[in-house]
Structure 1
Amino acid sequence: MPKLSHRTNGFTESIIRKMTRICNQYDAVNLSQGFPDFDPPQEILDRLKEVSQEGPHQYAVTWGADNFRAALARKQSRWMNRAIDPDQEIVVTCGSTEAMMAAMMTVCDPGDKVIVFSPFYENYGADTILSGAEPIYVPLHPPEFNFNIDELEAAFKQKPKALILCNPSNPSGKVFTYSELKIIADFAEKYDAFVITDEVYEHIVYKPYFHTYFASLPRMFERTISCSSLSKTYSITGWRLGYIIAPAHIIDVAKKVHDFLTVGAAAPLQEAAVVGLNFGDDYYEELQRKYTEKRDLFIKGLDDLNLAYTTPQGAYYVMMDISEFNSQDDYKFCEWLAQEVGVGAVPGSSFFREDVHHLIRFHFAKKSETLNEALNRLTTLRQKFTRI
């Protein structure tokens, strides 16, 4: 029999999704895979009910329904402080996962190099390899998860085609400052590289931090491919509605890649989601308040249990330090945690290129009662661990 593709030899299944299956197996509170256990806004659900009867039920325009793109352009123009052309500068994708893959395939040829900050969301390395490119990993140093300027420039000196920037960051919760973004921008200009952003947590940022869109920096719109989705902002992770915003000549190519990857995002879901895109600023203020409350509840619980962690500046993840347990295998620790303590987490090593095994990731996009139940179960952590 012929051999299978060699480019997938280093792939494993998604550790995040595997941890969800382990949680289901042991009836653990799932703080591993980052999806809410509460409903989307009622206005969106009401519109979805109407759409289920009246349509549309056939293909939308391949690169996004007209009214969806128009609403998205209005929203993002306000937040990005730049007029976005809905016809020439947007392509709608099947989630931000496809947006990132389409962006990578739009700019990368086999043999190109791409800078990836570590820790990173698990798809980035795979996207790079599937594009035929080679990842260059640059560490973000815990606990602040800052980059070293010399290490970053050394990566740029290798003439990468692009840099992937997740901001706010999954898994660390880091929000890059304007000065940090300016350093990246200067290097991108100096070494003539694109920047592909993943900004799905753009509206989940905790005071005093704030999100700066990389494309809004001077001269950066021209070399930025901005990827995001509606999943986290409107609690509709299963709807798989993502998008790319970029200059017209880049979008022209991204449309072609997207067309041959997935043809188009679901037409009825685009129609229903327009309601959310038309929300006013009060929605995003309430979203920030709600997630700040969830973050504070969860980290106070960790404080009460005297468990070490890094406080997230954005997104909805907490990296907990398990050094005190002297575990040499964070994956086995997370399996044990789900089975014996009843709480699901993701081993930190799945996010790092470096040899890091002392961190695990929790997420707190859950109802207060769910978080309190998880914290209650964690009260038995030390007692049960001594019996391993």
Structure 2
Amino acid sequence: MEEKLSSYAKSSTPSPIQQLSHLAQRCNAINLAEGFPDFAAPSHIKNAAISAINSDFNQYRHVQGICDHVARNVKEMHGLEVDPMTDIVICCGQTEAFAATMFAILDQGDEVIVFDPSYETYEACISMAGGVPVFVPLDPPYWTLDREKLMKACTSKTKAIVLNSPHNPTGKVFRMDELEVIAEACLKTDCLAVTDEVYEHITYDNERHVSLVSLPGMQERTIITSSMSKTYCVTGWRIGWAIAPACIADAIRNIHIRLTDSAPAPFQEAALTALESSSEYYESLKEDYESRRDFIVEFLSGIGFQIDFKPQGSFFIFAELHKDYALCDIDFVEELIKQAGIVAVPGCGFFHTKLPRDGYRKRYIRFAFGKSTRTLVAAVQRISELLDSSGHLKLFGNGKDTDSSSTPPS
């Protein structure tokens, strides 16, 4: 029956991250692969969802109040006015918001610029909508955007530029000068910008998320996609949104309705409570994740990973295998599962462009540290059992001789 499949379906491959997460479940492994918190969501948000279910909010529903709150947050964070009645679409998570956006703006053959490395969903959504992803590599070790590379990639076929900041998988927060280059490219080529801002509240070391939409001339050509998932520890609730100029938002809304009709009703109600969270909640969120980041960075650095770039946002660390490690990223991840019962993601799945250094794409491992302290300590303990007397991973090759001790987050 394979001949009955579409050409896209025939060429599509399973998500490596999903496969690794399923493997973690089957093997009872510690899952540092998939980006979801394994600890409880805030009780006031859960109670709001329970109350909504008990109040029979169980049918198709479109809650305008979420749009009002999102508009207020955009005003407070970025100083921008958006009309909650016309400019915001509630979707089933950021993923659907992004997919609906691609179907709303792309015609067959339109090009969409994506920065490399990048999250796997972007390429798939662009291709399904008939677009052509064009990858512009970010320069390691700080994942810097090169203006000339971006401008060279822009053509008369460029319909949009995708920006994910804070960035998955690297943890980069794009600098203001980089945002200005992206805005320049959009204005010069008269193309759109589509942003993924799901980690907007998760930044470290006094870094502040600045949305591309806030730059001069960008509000009328930027589509923001975001969600509740990461900020409120509810990745399974599937409440997200797109913010766009009214005519584009209307197209996204029409496609969303034809795809899923509405996001889960009781969780839309709970979103009203979540979006009213105090500033103290967001500060506490940052502090908790920052302590987890520091714990994992210290440990991985101590056992031989090269971490030239400390994550500035999100809850991932993109750690480079030391040059003396004998294994590539895929082999390393396989051995980590077999010998330590820990699942991480090989970095090669995030790269799409050919890079100048041979084998470069096979030297990174993505670890998710947005987990409970208990999970992170257990992972460290398992890996520590594989260290030799010098603190090296003795079964994986030789790392640099450094102290592998680290202090658990509070």
TM-score by length of 2: 0.90
1:81 aligns with 2:79: yes
How many Å apart are 1:66 and its aligned residue?
Answer: 1.5
Distance 2:48 2:214 in 1: 32
In the other structure, the counterpart of 1:311 is: 310
Are the structure 2 counterparts of residues 86 and 77 from structure 1 closer, same or farther at C-alpha, using a change threshold of 3 Å?
same
Q: Could you list the per-position Cα deviations for residues 266-296 of structure 1 after superposition, in whole angstroms to 9, with x for gaps in the alignment?
A: 1111001211101122211111111111111
Q: CA RMSD in A?
A: 1.6
How far apart are the structure 2 equivalents of 1:102 and 1:49?
29
- String of CA shifts for 1:203-255, please: whole Å, max 9, x gaps: 11112321101111111010000000000000000000010001111111111
CA 1:4–1:375 in 2, change beyond 3 Å: closer, same or farther?
same
After TM superposition, list the pairs within 5 Å mapping 1:211-226 onto structure 2. Answer: 211-226=209-224
Unaligned runs of 5+ in 2: 355-360, 388-392, 399-410
Given the alignment of the two structures, is residue 252 of structure 1 paired with residue 257 of structure 2, yes or no? no
Aligned: 1:362 with 2:367? yes
Note the alpha carbon deviations across 1:315-371, whole angstroms, 9 max, x for none.
01011212432224x223212211212211001010001351010100101111211
Task: Assess if the C-alpha contact under 8 Å between 1:19 and 1:346 holds in 2.
Answer: yes
Matching residue of 1:384: 395
SS for the counterpart of 1:385 is coil
Amino acid at match of 1:384: L
| SS of residue in 2 equivalent to 1:319 | strand
- SS state of the match for residue 255, structure 1? helix
What residue in structure 1 maps to residue 404 of structure 2?
Answer: none
- For the 8 Å contact 1:22–1:338, the answer to whether it is kept is no
Once residues 176 and 9 of structure 2 are traced to their aligned partners in structure 1, the CA distance between those partners, rounded to angstroms, is 37
TM-score for both structures, normalised by structure 1: 0.95
Deviation of 1:184 after TM superposition, in Å, equals 0.5
Paired letter, 1:192: D
Q: Distance in 2 between matches of 1:375 and 1:22?
A: 20
Shift of 1:58: 1.1
Match of 1:104 among 97, 102, 106: 102
Specify the SS of the correspondent of 2:89: strand
Contact 1:75 1:278 survives alignment (8 Å): no
Instruction: Verify the 8 A CA contact 2:327 2:397 in the aligned structure 1.
Output: no
Structure 1 match to 2:123: 125
Q: How does 1:313-328 map to 2 (within 5 A)?
A: 313-322=312-321, 323-328=323-328
CA distance in 1, matches of 2:320, 2:378: 20
- CA 1:313/1:71 → structure 2, altered by over 3 Å: closer, same or farther? same
Distance in 1 (CA, whole Å) between partners of 2:4 and 2:26 is: 34
Question: 1:43 & 1:73 partners in 2: Cα distance?
Answer: 22
Q: How far did 1:386 drift?
A: 5.3
Provide the identity percentage: 39
Q: CA deviation at 1:158?
A: 4.9
Counterparts of 1:257 and 1:201, CA distance in 2:
25
User: 1:16-68 CA deviation, whole Å, 9 max, x = no partner?
Assistant: 0111122223322110001001111111111122112113111113xxx1222
Q: 1:206 aligns with which of 191, 204, 207?
A: 204
- Distance in 1 separating the partners of 2:57 and 2:26: 38
Aligned position for 1:347:
346
Q: Which amino acid aligns with 1:325?
A: Y
Find out whether 1:17 has 2:28 as its counterpart: no
Runs of 4+ aligned structure 1 residues displaced above 6 Å come to: none
- Which residue identity is paired with 2:350? F
TM-superposed deviation, 1:82: 1.1
Asked whether the equivalents of residues 364 and 371 of structure 1 are also in contact (C-alpha less than 8 Å), the reply is yes
Q: What secondary structure does 1:92 align onto?
A: strand
Question: Which position in structure 2 is the counterpart of 1:153?
Answer: 151
Inter-partner Cα distance in structure 2 for 1:316 and 1:113:
30
The 1-side partners of 2:397 and 2:231 are apart by 40
Q: Distance in 2 between matches of 1:89 and 1:169?
A: 25
User: 1:135: how far off?
Assistant: 0.8
Question: SS at 1:383's partner residue?
Answer: coil
> Which residue, 262, 268, 275 being the options, matches 2:273?
275
Distance 1:336 1:25 in 2: 16
